[in-house]
Amino acid sequence: MLMPVLKAGFNGTDLVDVNMQVMPIGDTFVFDYPAGALPDGGGGLAYFLAVQVTIAVAQTINFFLQRNVTFKSNTNPWRAAAWYVVAYVVITFVAAVAQGFYKTPIYDLFIDTWGLGATGETLGDLTTMLINAGISVLVFYPIFKVIFRREPEDGDDDGHAIGPGGAAQGTSSAGMTTASI
């Protein structure tokens, strides 16, 4: 939901008319946001910034949720953050290359073919962000298994904390803390 809001805000600026096409690959660019409003243009620097700010905010939130909630990692958070940033940069480039193939057809479909106008543009925004999210999941998950691992604590070699009285504590499949006697 953030991306359409940011895009609407940036669209009110001259950034829409600033060409953002860098790193050519064949007939397209890694970052391919030609000047001009969608669908005739590529949204220019305004669209690029809306996408990148949205992804950066989402990934910042995602880092803490994945590290602390999903994987319950107890490794060095600074080291994990450094690797996360490296992965984020790689994913940004992979997603940008992929977007060169699907962005224009998606916006053309919603705006022109189906004649949805501004609603079609918002649907295009949401669709491209969902595709970016899918790419992120496919690339990030294996990386998460490495950077967010859980190291054994206090002599417990399976990564579970030792509770009161020496009982091993773990997490049940329902996510509840359990203790075995």
Rounded-to-integer distance, Cα 175 and Cα 152, Å: 19
Same domain, 145 and 160: no
Q: Which 8-state DSSP code applies to residue 148?
A: T
143-162 pLDDT, tens digit each: 888 899 888 887 655 554 44
Report whether pLDDT(181) > 50.
Answer: no
Same domain, 130 and 175: no
Query: How many Cα neighbours within 13 Å face the side chain of 124?
Result: 27
Task: Say which residues have a Cβ less than 8 Å from residue 36's Cβ, sequence separation at least 6.
Answer: 16, 17, 42, 43, 44
Q: Which 8-state DSSP code applies to residue 162?
A: B
Rounded-to-integer distance, Cα 89 and Cα 160, Å: 33
Same domain, 180 and 115: no
The model scores a pTM over 0.75: no
pLDDT value of position 69: 93
**Does residue 33 contact residue 43 with C-beta atoms inside 8 Å?**
yes
Determine the structural domain holding residue 165 and report its residue range.
153-181
Mean pLDDT in the chain? 83
pLDDT value of position 113: 95
User: How far does Cα 137 stand from its chain's mean position?
Assistant: 8
Rounded-to-integer distance, Cα 51 and Cα 6, Å: 8
Same domain, 6 and 95: yes
24-40 pLDDT, tens digit each: 988 888 998 999 998 78
Confidence of residue 96 (pLDDT cuts 50, 70, 90): confident
Q: Which residues, in sequence order, are bridge partners of residue 10?
A: none
SS3 of residue 179 by DSSP: strand
Q: Where are the alpha helices (DSSP H) in 12-76?
A: 44-64
Same domain, 30 and 55: yes
Q: Total structural domains in the chain? A: 2
Between CA 153 and CA 158, with CA 181 as vertex, the angle to 5 degrees is 30
Same domain, 79 and 131: yes
Same domain, 9 and 71: yes
